[in-house]
Amino acid sequence: MKDLRPEDYRVIWIAPLEIEAKAALSMLDHWHDGKFRMAPGDDYVFQAGDMCGHNVVIATFPTGQEYGTGSAAALASQAKKFFPNLWFGLLVGVAAGIPDLKKNPQQDIRLGDVLVSIPDMDRPGAVAYDLGRDKGDDFLELLRQGHILSQTAPVVRAAIGSIKLRSPNEAKLFLPFYENMENKENFIDPGQDRDNFYEVGPNGIEYIVERPKRPAAQRTRVWYGPIGAGEKLMRDASKRDMLRDKYGIIGLEMEAAGVMNRIDVGIIRSTCDYADKHKNKDWQPYAAAMAAAYAKAILDQLSPGHGKPT
């Protein structure tokens, strides 16, 4: 088996969880035959292929490694050193979505919807909401008012902007990638009947919010705005809503804070839960596929600088 050359790869696709990596690999147009030569100190096996004409390496955590910002930082640091010609990166996978049905218009985020990190007014695209100075009474003064993580690479923001111009019909640009993905049967939509969103009433008791089914043609929506990056898994609806109201975030994830100051990445996530005690893994495969399909649409917007390695 031949050696692949790290210098031939300009895009890194970081998929921390195994199901996220499987979705990414199922989006490849071609797998590249060969392996990257490794040496002592190289802790990650990178998968290689091409997508929309771009040479892409897909990076994921080793089996059994705990996810979170520390693991993500270690992966990003080694990838940056291993691939000297990286142009940009994509951090792609699942996240908790945070609906705001009191907002006008409603932020009616549903399971399987895509969340794309972009700045919103005076807020950064990724908010490290648990990094700051504890002021007491559950108040955290964010470091640099939350502007501590690097911005998404301009070229990725340009591609996102190009897709966003089609809003609210941008799903037409990425759903074909889902329909044509390899092993699609492993990433099936669980169905809107199994999408239950709970809110917390004034008495502290949860109740299911009744939401009408979306028409099939409008099944998947894309939401743009700040995404919260934290170290802890959130399973508390009240704290979820507090973070939403305080920082204007549309979702929560656990790796961006470890990656963004090492590699310029665009954060593309899809909703697999609502950050409450009802969290489970049932929606992870489908959500991972939706995020991967949108990420592939980003690559499709950009003209590649290199072809497939010889």
When pLDDT is averaged across residues 113-136 and rounded to a whole number, the result is: 76
Annotate the chain with DSSP letters as a single string.
Answer: -PEEPGGG--EEEE--SHHHHHHHHHH-SEEPSSEE---TT---PPEEEEETTEEEEEE-PPTTPPPSHHHHHHHHHHHHHH-TT--EEEEEEEEEE--BTTSSS-B---TT-EEEE--BTTB-SEE-TT-EEEEETTEEEEGGGGTTSPPPPHHHHHHHHHHHTTTTSTHHHHHHHHHT-TTGGGG----GGG---EEE-TTS-EEEPP-PPPPGGGS--EEEE-EEE-SS----HHHHHHHHHHH--SEEESSHHHHTTTS-EEEEEEEEE-SSTT--STTHHHHHHHHHHHHHHHHHHS--SS----
When pLDDT is averaged across residues 129-149 and rounded to a whole number, the result is: 55
| Predicted confidence (pLDDT) at residue 300 exceeds the cutoff of 60 | yes
| Predicted confidence (pLDDT) at residue 148 exceeds the cutoff of 80 | no
| Predicted confidence (pLDDT) at residue 157 exceeds the cutoff of 60 | yes
Q: For 100-114, 128-142, 207-221, which range has the lowest pLDDT when averaged over its residues?
A: 128-142
Q: Determine the pLDDT at residue 67.
A: 74
Mean pLDDT, rounded, of the chain: 89
pTM of the shown model: 0.92
Q: For 15-19, 64-68, 104-108, 201-205, which range has the lowest pLDDT when averaged over its residues?
A: 64-68
261 or 52, which is more confident?
52
253-268 in b/e form (b: 16+ CB < 10 A) is bbbbbbbbebbbbbbb
Q: What is the pLDDT of residues 5-56, one digit of tens each?
A: 999 999 999 999 999 999 999 999 999 999 999 989 888 999 999 999 999 9
Q: Determine the pLDDT at residue 307.
A: 43
**Phi and psi dihedrals of 124, rounded to 5?**
-75, 165
Report the half-sphere exposure of 295 (CA within 13 A, side-chain side): 38
Return the CA Rg of the chain.
19
Q: Determine the pLDDT at residue 104.
A: 92
**Rounded distance between C-alpha atoms, residue 128 and residue 96, angstroms:** 15
Q: Determine the pLDDT at residue 142.
A: 61
Q: Determine the pLDDT at residue 309.
A: 44
Greatest C-alpha distance within the chain: 65
* Structure confidence at residue 137 as a pLDDT band (50, 70, 90): low
Q: Determine the pLDDT at residue 306.
A: 46
**Rounded distance between C-alpha atoms, residue 178 and residue 47, angstroms:** 20
Q: Determine the pLDDT at residue 141.
A: 54
Q: Spell out the domains of the chain, with CATH numbers in brackets.
A: 3-301 (3.40.50.1580)
200 or 232, which is more confident?
200
Quick one: what percent of the chain has pLDDT higher than 90? 65
Q: Determine the pLDDT at residue 169.
A: 93
Q: Determine the pLDDT at residue 295.
A: 98
| Predicted confidence (pLDDT) at residue 143 exceeds the cutoff of 60 | no
Residue 144 CB contacts under 8 Å (≥ 6 apart), including other chains: none
Structure tokens at 271: 């909703």
| Predicted confidence (pLDDT) at residue 144 exceeds the cutoff of 60 | no
| Predicted confidence (pLDDT) at residue 297 exceeds the cutoff of 80 | yes
Which one-letter amino acid corresponds to residue 185? E
